């Protein structure tokens, strides 16, 4: 490839960033996007038309950089490119690519800003755009926050269109037929006489051309794939046992390792005796790693056995030993000097409540584990020159940086082979397990080592959802909610997680109040305050962080106030809501569930909850029945508006899966700490939801919103409060603490 064409291709990318919503502040160095990483080392017959499309004589590769943890984003990315490129996503190669600035997530940083999501005024808009620049400068290549579809949908369709038009130009220059007379179909350019030229035959020609960047995206009415049911690209391998996960990576001469770290996180390694473990069959070595020991063996089970045989005197970490002590820390933290934010402060709550009867309630949610079904693992090969890492991750750039720091190789000598994850739910937004795997492999240069955590290690060393306390007060008048004052108290998730994988951003920790301050209700006197408790156990981002706890607080308390007012749960929510998109969702859930109040007959009850999370308003109605074995959830209705839906089949799966996640953990799960570590160390004590508790689901996506958003998380938040409200309707027992099975039985 000539130098000139490289330069031109790079300048094309400015256009690509503009399409992606990247803002130009007139500072060229910042607005200028990254170069195309695919241009390095291309052969004569390979064309990297954009950072997302590579056409070679041997086949077509689409780069799909966001990590798939089951939410279907790999397939989604492929379909977005394919829509414009006219290829069959099932017939092309999908490659997650390498960590690179071309693949930064320009939206995720903006999502944490302390502005109301419905506020599109000049200040929030400008700061959101600034955060895109920050993301680009810092190389934030996260998968998370349900942001992938919103961030990528235009970029990827544009990449597909640029590649298609460039291939048409290549075909035109090869055949002499004007571009206007060319069509594209199923991976080929089609001439007016019906002759098809496969894209792969045009690779050499396309590699010599400047990309055609003046392209128009197809309007939704002309979509060939998007918006209609299609098969996710990973469904067949995942239904036939042929999908390769990180844990399945097999390399010649590979050894197996496991880690036994201090159950008190961060306590460090104490005096230990490895004499028995060392002599056990298959053990190849025992090495010290960050916070613990690793056993390297010729078989995973042998490594597990030897790890159990290690005797270690673990030093205590710097947090209290028990959940009871940690709750006391939260209670004591509810004082004005700990107030971190008051992002909602409408009317005059204090004034109104000084003249009215005050209704008050306190709510609690416990620590919760992520426990993805595939235990955390990474396979690493360290040599003198380079490092190769095979793992599932949401933070590939952090992994690359860690490899550089630990081994001292240059950044371009680190290869990250990103694999589909057997679940994550936010766990793989941390890379502690990969850091350990690199530390271990560094001790065995030239030898690939697969490090796998036992399930017990996974539970003990999660970065759990934080425990979270809420104190709420409110008042009603004339059958209406008139004052609502919610204080939410928790250690800072932002401080804990960001310090491990990024930098702690300035300003308030919006995780503390997400799902509470940012709701569309227009209660006349309405206040939400976040209180930052001292740091305790290191904590992490758990499917719909912040909102998964705060929606339970907010929607439970709102329901309690509506009951005190004697109003209808849905009518009062509608009365308090002006935003037309949110109203549409509430009206839809009323119609779907044939709403006529929470009383649906003896021994039964119905609850509703609503939450605007990750820019998606979601309403859920739940029916329960009291049976002789306990409460049974019969039906769940979900209405949401995420804008245009690209993949209706998977969208439905994400809505129901997120609700199952929210319900199962609210009903059945907690991590309690004794002696600095969780008592629950495997699925016998932390089940989530199982099939026999799973209700029937009915879903609806309205597609009225102009914001196209992801659905991995939003349906989690309203699930727990909708269930709590249904249980109250059926039993008169108010769930103010998770897990609910501490207070009621479930069938």
Partner 1 sequence: MSVNEEETISLIVDGASFEVSLEAEMPLLWVLRDELGILGPKYGCGIAQCGACTVLIDGDAVRSCQVAAGDVWGPVTTIAALGLDGADHPLQTAWIKHQVAQCGYCQSGQILQAAALLEKDTSPTDSAIDAAMSSNLCRCGTYPRIRAAIHDAARSLRES
Which member of 26, 684, 706, 732 binds partner 1 (CB under 8 A)? 684
Q: What is the dihedral of CA 392, 397, 398, 399, to 10 degrees?
A: 50
Out of 301, 354, 411, 591, name the contact with partner 1 by CB under 8 A: 301
Task: Please identify which residue in 339, 697, 702, 744 interacts with partner 1, judged by CB under 8 A.
Answer: 697
- CB under 8 A: which stretch of 80-88, 192-200, 417-425, 576-584 binds partner 1? 417-425
The span from the CA of 746 to the CA of 629, in Å, is: 7
Q: Which of 137, 178, 192, 276 binds partner 1 (CB under 8 A)?
A: 276
| Structural contact between residues 67 and 52, judged by C-beta atoms closer than 8 angstroms | no
Pick from 420, 448, 494, 584 the residue near partner 1 by CB under 8 A: 420
Q: Which is nearer to partner 1, 19 or 421 (CB)?
A: 421
Q: Report residue 607 as tokens.
A: 């609850």
Specify whether the CB–CB gap between 303 and 258 falls below 8 A: yes
Between residue 658 and residue 677, which ones bind partner 1 under the rule CB under 8 A?
658-661, 664
Residue of 145, 166, 180 lying closest to 209 (CA atoms)? 166
Nearer to partner 1, 598 or 699 (CB): 699
Q: Which two tokens stand for residue 95?
A: 């490659």
Comparing CB distances to partner 1, the nearer of 304 and 514 is: 304
- The verdict on 96 binding partner 1 (CB under 8 A) reads no
Total interface residues for partner 1 by CB under 8 A: 69
Q: Do the strands 480-491 and 525-533 form a parallel or antiparallel pair, or are they unpaired?
A: parallel
Q: Does 69 bind partner 1 (CB under 8 A)?
A: yes
On whether the CB atoms of residues 410 and 365 are closer than 8 A, the answer is no
Q: Does 43 sit near partner 1 (CB under 8 A)?
A: no
Of 20 and 303, the one with the shorter C-beta distance to partner 1 is: 303
Residue 272: how many CB atoms within 10 A of its CB?
17
What's the min distance (Å) between Cβ of 134 and partner 1?
31
* Among residues 12, 103, 158, 256, the one that binds partner 1 under rule CB under 8 A: 256
CA distance 347 to 349: 6
Q: Could you please report the per-residue DSSP string of 288-325? A: EETTEEEEEESSHHHHHHHHHT-EE-PPP-SS-SSHHH
Q: Should residue 251 be labelled a site residue for partner 1 when binding is judged by CB under 8 A?
A: no
The CB-of-283 to partner 1 minimum distance in angstroms stands at 10
Rounded-to-integer distance, Cα 660 and Cα 722, Å: 12
Tell which one of 455, 583, 734, 743 touches partner 1 (CB under 8 A). 455
Q: Which stretch binds partner 1 (CB under 8 A): 337-345, 379-387, 423-431, 509-517?
A: 423-431
Radius of gyration of the chain (CA): 27
296 in contact with partner 1 (CB under 8 A):
no
CB of 688 to partner 1, least distance (A): 6
Which of the stretches 230-238, 259-267, 429-437, 530-538 binds partner 1 when contact is defined by CB under 8 A? 230-238
Does position 241 interact with partner 1 (CB under 8 A)? The reply is yes
Query: Which C-beta is closer to partner 1: that of 176 or that of 241?
Result: 241
Residues 6+ away with beta carbon under 8 Å from 135: 104, 105, 106, 107, 108, 109, 110
Show the site string, 347-376: x = touches partner 1 by CB under 8 A, - = not: ------------------------xxxxx-
Q: In the complex, what is the shortest distance from the CB of residue 55 to partner 1, in angstroms, rounded to a whole number?
A: 29
User: Within 136-155, which residues bind partner 1 (CB under 8 A)?
Assistant: none
Residue 444 contacts residue 159 (beta carbons within 8 Å): no
Q: Shortest distance, CB of residue 150 to partner 1, whole angstroms? A: 20
Residue 710's contacts (CB-CB under 8 Å, 6 or more residues apart) are 71, 145, 146, 147, 148, 149, 150, 614, 616, 642
Closest separation in Å from C-beta 698 to partner 1: 10
CB-based contact 674:653 (threshold 8 Å)? no
Burial class (CB in 10 A: 0-12, 13-18, 19+), 115: middle
Give me the residues that bind partner 1 (CB under 8 A), please.
68-72, 231-232, 234-245, 247-248, 250, 256, 276, 280-281, 299-302, 304-305, 309, 371-375, 420-425, 452, 454-455, 649-650, 653, 656-661, 664, 682-684, 687-692, 694, 696-697
């Amino acid at each position: 490839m000539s130098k000139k064409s490289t330069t031109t291709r790079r300048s094309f990318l400015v256009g690509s960033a503009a399409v992606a919503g990247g803002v130009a502040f007139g500072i060229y160095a910042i607005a200028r996007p990254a170069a195309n990483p695919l241009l390095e080392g291309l052969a004569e017959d390979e064309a990297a038309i954009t950072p997302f499309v590579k056409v070679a004589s041997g086949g077509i590769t689409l780069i799909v950089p966001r990590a798939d943890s089951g939410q279907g984003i790999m397939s989604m990315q492929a379909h977005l490119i394919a829509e414009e490129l006219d290829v069959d996503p099932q017939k092309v190669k999908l490659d997650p690519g390498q960590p690179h600035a071309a693949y930064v997530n320009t939206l995720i940083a903006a999502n944490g800003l302390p502005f109301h999501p419905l506020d599109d005024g000049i200040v929030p808009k400008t700061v959101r755009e600034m955060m895109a620049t920050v993301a680009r400068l810092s190389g934030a290549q996260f998968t998370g926050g349900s942001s992938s579809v919103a961030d990528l949908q235009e970029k990827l369709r544009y990449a597909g269109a640029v590649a298609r038009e460039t291939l048409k130009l290549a075909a035109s220059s090869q055949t002499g037929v004007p571009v206007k007379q060319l069509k594209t179909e199923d991976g080929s350019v089609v001439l007016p006489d019906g002759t098809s030229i496969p894209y792969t035959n045009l690779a050499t020609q396309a590699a010599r051309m400047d990309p055609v960047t003046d392209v128009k995206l197809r309007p939704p009415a002309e979509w060939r794939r998007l918006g209609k049911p299609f098969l996710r690209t990973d469904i067949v391998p995942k239904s036939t046992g042929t999908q390769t996960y990180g844990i399945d990576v097999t390399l010649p001469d590979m050894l197996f390792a496991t880690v036994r770290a201090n159950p008190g996180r961060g306590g460090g390694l104490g005096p230990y005796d490895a004499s028995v473990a060392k002599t056990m069959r298959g053990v190849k070595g025992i090495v010290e790693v960050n916070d613990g020991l690793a056993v390297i063996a010729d078989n995973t089970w042998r490594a597990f056995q030897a790890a159990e045989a290690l005797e270690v005197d673990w030093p205590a970490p710097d947090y209290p030993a028990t959940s009871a002590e940690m709750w006391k820390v939260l209670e004591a933290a509810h004082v004005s000097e700990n107030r971190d934010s008051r992002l909602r402060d409408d009317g005059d709550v204090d004034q109104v409540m000084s003249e009215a009867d005050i209704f008050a309630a306190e709510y609690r949610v416990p620590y919760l584990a992520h426990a993805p079904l595939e235990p955390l693992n990474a396979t690493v090969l360290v040599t003198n020159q380079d490092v190769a890492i095979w793992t599932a991750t949401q933070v590939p750039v952090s992994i690359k940086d860690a490899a550089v720091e630990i081994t001292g190789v240059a950044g371009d000598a680190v290869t990250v082979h990103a694999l589909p994850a057997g679940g994550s739910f936010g766990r793989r937004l941390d890379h502690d397990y990969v850091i350990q795997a690199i530390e271990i492999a560094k001790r065995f240069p030239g030898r690939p080592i697969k490090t796998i955590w036992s399930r017990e290690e996974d539970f003990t060393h999660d970065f759990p959802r934080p425990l979270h306390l809420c104190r709420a007060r409110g008042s009603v008048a004339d059958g209406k909610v008139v004052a609502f004052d919610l204080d939410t108290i928790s250690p800072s998730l932002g401080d804990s997680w960001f310090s491990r994988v990024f930098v702690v951003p300035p300003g308030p920790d919006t995780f503390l109040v997400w799902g509470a301050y940012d709701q569309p209700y227009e209660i006349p006197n309405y206040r939400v305050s976040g209180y930052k408790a001292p740091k305790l156990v290191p904590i992490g981002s758990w499917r719909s962080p912040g909102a998964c706890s705060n929606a339970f607080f907010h929607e439970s308390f709102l329901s309690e106030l509506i009951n005190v007012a004697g109003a209808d749960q849905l009518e009062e929510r509608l009365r308090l809501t002006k935003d037309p998109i949110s109203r549409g969702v509430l009206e839809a859930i009323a119609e779907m569930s044939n709403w006529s109040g929470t009383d649906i007959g003896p021994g039964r009850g119905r609850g509703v909850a609503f939450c605007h999370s990750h820019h998606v308003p979601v309403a859920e109605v739940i029916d329960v029945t009291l049976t002789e074995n306990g409460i049974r959830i019969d039906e769940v209705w979900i209405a949401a508006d995420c804008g245009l839906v690209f993949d209706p089949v998977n969208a439905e799966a994400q809505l129901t899966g997120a609700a199952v996640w929210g319900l199962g953990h609210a009903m059945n799960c907690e991590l309690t700490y004794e002696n600095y570590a969780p008592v629950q160390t495997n699925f016998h004590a932390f089940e989530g939801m199982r099939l026999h508790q799973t209700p029937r689901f009915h879903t609806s996506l309205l597609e009225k919103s102009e914001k196209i958003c992801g659905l991995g998380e939003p349906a989690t938040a309203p699930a727990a409060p909708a269930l709590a409200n249904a249980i109250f309707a059926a039993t008169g027992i108010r769930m103010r603490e998770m897990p609910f099975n501490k207070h009621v039985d479930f069938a």
